[in-house]
Amino acid sequence: MTLVDKEIGRTLRASTEGFVVGCRVEQLTSSFGDLVKAKLNETDVVYGLIYKIDIDDDPLVRRLVLLDGLEPAMIEDQRQNRLVPIEMSVLAVGYNMNGRLQHGLSMRPPLSLDPAFLCSDLNEIKDFTNDLGYLRMITRADPTKVPIDQLLITHIRNLCQQRGEHQWAASAIQEVIELLRHDYQTLVPILETLSHTLPQLADTSQQ
């Protein structure tokens, strides 16, 4: 792990297709669409994109919401000391094993309580996203579980800002067009939204 890696929680459950990370309120620093990684051992990791964040209730919360004049201190105490974790669902899109970076599914998923980290090192982010092959993992995800269009939109927009490279975003959009060329119902809203959020790329997305 690099010096900038920040632990965002630990694995609750996993499969080769993805994993779910649990964390406390104060650990919730990552967001929908972020590139994260789960540690398999001292050197190997599985990479994924957050596609869902769940904040479940518990019996105490159900009682507290019925109270009038709920004190801020009570809310803060519940948030800091609640035993029900926030859950982040992650779609696996690649891995690094034995120093070799690959896009696709790893041979094994992380185990319960393996730590997960937000990818914050720009060099690592670039290394993983220079090759756009991982976008295929998003477009082939189960649409009943993963909001494919919103995940693509958010991820491309965020990566464009992180990398500071409009050319990367333009290439990513072209890759998405190729991957979804037979699925206009999904593709058109993605291009329309990106043309508004990244207007400098509007001409590219309309090609």
Q: Model confidence at 82, in pLDDT bands (50, 70, 90)? A: low
Task: Answer yes or no: is pLDDT of 203 > 60.
Answer: no
Task: Answer yes or no: is pLDDT of 179 > 80.
Answer: yes
Q: What is the mean pLDDT of residues 133-146?
A: 96
CA distance 133 to 145: 21
Task: Answer yes or no: is pLDDT of 89 > 50.
Answer: yes
Q: Which residues pair with 88 in a beta bridge?
A: 21, 53
CA distance 100 to 88: 26
Q: What is the mean pLDDT of residues 74-95?
A: 79
Instruction: Quote the longest CA-to-CA distance of the chain.
Output: 57
68 or 144, which is more confident: 144
Q: What is the pLDDT of residue 202?
A: 52
User: What pTM was computed for the model?
Assistant: 0.85
Q: In which residue are the tokens 């620093």 written?
A: 29
State the average pLDDT for the chain: 87
Other C-beta atoms closer than 10 Å to the C-beta of 13 total 15
Which of 146, 136, 148 shows the shortest CA–CA distance to 105? 136
Q: What is the mean pLDDT of residues 88-98?
A: 96
Q: What is the pLDDT of residue 205?
A: 44
Q: Model confidence at 138, in pLDDT bands (50, 70, 90)? A: very high
Q: What angle in degrees, to the nearest 10, is found between the helix axes of 148-163 and 166-179?
A: 160
**C-beta separation of 48 from 83 below 8 A:** no
CA distance 11 to 114: 5
Q: What is the pLDDT of residues 42-66, one digit of tens each?
A: 889 999 999 999 987 666 665 665 5
